[in-house]
Amino acid sequence: MFGRIREAKLAYGSTPLSLDDGKLNDWNGGRGVYFGDPDGHVLELMTVPQ
């Protein structure tokens, strides 16, 4: 999924308040990213710790 976000050149960020910082977060041992959809909703992709 993250590859598709990058391929579409969508802005993404590490927090819901930083949707364009181009970073991933690593909260609680997982990884996550936030981005906006065409309707203006903020979406989150996240993994769980291994």
Q: Are 10 and 2 in contact (CB under 8 A)?
A: no
Adjacent-strand bridge partners of 49: none
| 1-46 pLDDT, tens digit each | 999 999 999 999 999 999 999 999 998 889 999 999 989 999 999 9
Residue 50 confidence (pLDDT) = 62
Token couple for 40: 């203006």
- Taking the C-alpha atoms of residue 7 and residue 1, their distance in angstroms, rounded to an integer, is 10
Residue 23 confidence (pLDDT) = 97
The 3-state secondary structure of 19-37, one letter per residue: CCCCCCECHHHCCEEEEEC
Q: Are 15 and 7 in contact (CB under 8 A)?
A: no
